[in-house]
Amino acid sequence: MMEKSYEALIEIVGPKYVSNQPEEVFFYSRDPGISEPHNPDFVVMPGTTQEVQEIVLLANREKIPIVPMGASLSLAGLCIPLRNGIVLDMKRMNRILEVNETSRYVLIEAGVSHGVLQSYLNKNYPRLMHSIPDAPPMNTIGGNMALFGSGHLSQETGFHTEMVQGLEVVLPTGEICYTGSCSVVPKWFARGPLPDLAGLFLGWLGTTGIITKLSIRLYPKPRKKDVLIFVTENPDFIPDIVYNITETKMAEDINIFAQPKPDWAEGFQQTAIYITGNSEEEMSFKRGLIRRSLHKYIHNKKGGFMFVLPMMKPGMMESPIRELSRFADVEKGGGFEYIGVIIAIEDFPQLYRDAVEIAAKYRPKWSIMCRVIGRGHSIMFSYAWPFNRANPEDMEKARKALFESNASGLRNGGVIWKPDIEGQSMMMKMMDPNTVHLLQKIRKTLDPNDIMNPGNWEIS
């Protein structure tokens, strides 16, 4: 049967884009995080929506699991084929199909990476930009939407999923389906006013269908950018600081960092406030309002702006921030995973204290990295743990740190973002039973043969 399926896959995409060779499936059996590897039976790279459809129809006939994959950079094992089968690598579906300059959206195939779209816009539409996550640039936009990502414009505009205006999806049973305005007219400018079907696919980790095309919002690109760093020594101040800055509506992005290295940084919280504008006058006005919003902290000697050397600014202001990817390999062992938790602003201090405590138990090198989402409606709080894959003892400590981070996030009122299998299971245990039932009912209805990324969003 395996041989028959292999031949059928070659028939669909051609021999160059299917593999069952051990040295190739090896790379698809794992990701940079801590999850246990599992080999797929086949790796397939479709080039068109029709090829995706044919692969899905084949998988239904033969009951073969399918795991859609972008760059597999979730770090949480979300593309590891837990029940073997096909890993569907979407990277060949990388065409930018339309830019609507006036209504500011771009229609792309799901395998377009954030890096490619960023370069394309810089070159061809220098007045437009999209929101960029701090992940390595090869991460795909389809994958980022399937896991509910966020990026450098999320402070102003919300989660990336809120920027999706239309989807083309191959359902688990093979039908090609559209959501949003494009399902009615040949334009991809809005999600409504229709029943919001995009929600059936965003945040579902590839368990309800394969996104093949999508349109996302573009935004005007300001000519100038600057960063201010506000330093405090007490995490209890952070909710009020975020409240004050967001009240001014002057910041494009707000990130909060804490780490034990270099030595001078230990014990401090650094709030990076990014401002953008089109003239020095506008920038200076925004800087002034932000500085004034935090004046009471400076007056009471509870915080202050750090002097940032001009030579350091370009690195701090790039999107994505390359320094974060470098930190991921700080242990030089090629292992990195972070637990991201979406929290209400007021819960920051307790998560911060837990993170420092978990680090003290298990991880000498660590970082807390947070992004304010949607003008202070929530924070993406992350406990980031690099580890050395060549050292089993270190791996075990990292595993414990990740487990405790998931538990801390939930205990303190957060919702785990891009949850690994353990995190999904912890959340489903706490979830309202009718909601769990609804999740399972939707999955069963859309995917009666249970082939889509099995193991995820599933009750074990």
Ligand X SMILES: Cc1cc2nc3c(=O)[nH]c(=O)nc-3n(C[C@H](O)[C@H](O)[C@H](O)COP(=O)(O)OP(=O)(O)OC[C@H]3O[C@@H](n4cnc5c(N)ncnc54)[C@H](O)[C@@H]3O)c2cc1C
Interface residues with ligand X (CB under 6 A) are 67-75, 78-79, 90, 110, 133-136, 139-140, 142-144, 146-147, 149-151, 205-206, 210-211, 324-325, 328, 453
Q: Which is closer to ligand X, CB of 5 or CB of 113? A: 113
Q: Which is closer to ligand X, CB of 133 or CB of 235? A: 133
Q: Which is closer to ligand X, CB of 105 or CB of 159? A: 159
Task: Tell the smallest beta-carbon distance from residue 152 to ligand X (Å).
Answer: 8
Q: Which is closer to ligand X, CB of 183 or CB of 325? A: 325
Task: Tell the smallest beta-carbon distance from residue 75 to ligand X (Å).
Answer: 6
Q: Which is closer to ligand X, CB of 113 or CB of 293? A: 113
Task: Tell the smallest beta-carbon distance from residue 320 to ligand X (Å).
Answer: 7
Q: Which is closer to ligand X, CB of 237 or CB of 336? A: 336
Q: Which is closer to ligand X, CB of 142 or CB of 423? A: 142
Task: Tell the smallest beta-carbon distance from residue 264 to ligand X (Å).
Answer: 23
The three-state DSSP-derived secondary structure of the chain is: CHHHHHHHHHHHHCHHHEECCHHHHHHHCCCCCCCCCCCCCEEECCCCHHHHHHHHHHHHHHCCCEEEECCCCCCCCCCCCCCCCEEEEHHHCCCEEEEECCCCEEEEECCCEHHHHHHHHHHHCCCEECCCCCCCCCCEHHHHHHCCCCCCCHHHHCCHHHHEEEEEEECCCCCEEEEEHHHCCCCCCCCCCCCCHHHHCCCCCCCCCEEEEEEEECEECCCEEEEEEEEECCHHHHHHHHHHHHHHCCCCEEEEEECCCCHHHCCCEEEEEEEEECCHHHHHHHHHHHHHHCHHHHHCCCEEEECCCHHHHHHHHCCCCHHHHHHHCCCCCEEEEEEEEEECHHHHHHHHHHHHHHHHHHCCCCEEEEEEECCCCEEEEEEEEEEECCCHHHHHHHHHHHHHHHHHHHHCCCEEECCCHHHHHHHHHHCCHHHHHHHHHHHHHHCCCCCECCCCCCCC
Task: Tell the smallest beta-carbon distance from residue 285 to ligand X (Å).
Answer: 28
Q: Which is closer to ligand X, CB of 244 or CB of 440? A: 440
**C-alpha to C-alpha distance for 189 and 419, rounded to whole angstroms:** 30
Task: Tell the smallest beta-carbon distance from residue 24 to ligand X (Å).
Answer: 17
Q: Which is closer to ligand X, CB of 92 or CB of 291? A: 92
Task: Tell the smallest beta-carbon distance from residue 388 to ligand X (Å).
Answer: 16
Task: Tell the smallest beta-carbon distance from residue 37 to ligand X (Å).
Answer: 15
Task: Tell the smallest beta-carbon distance from residue 292 to ligand X (Å).
Answer: 29
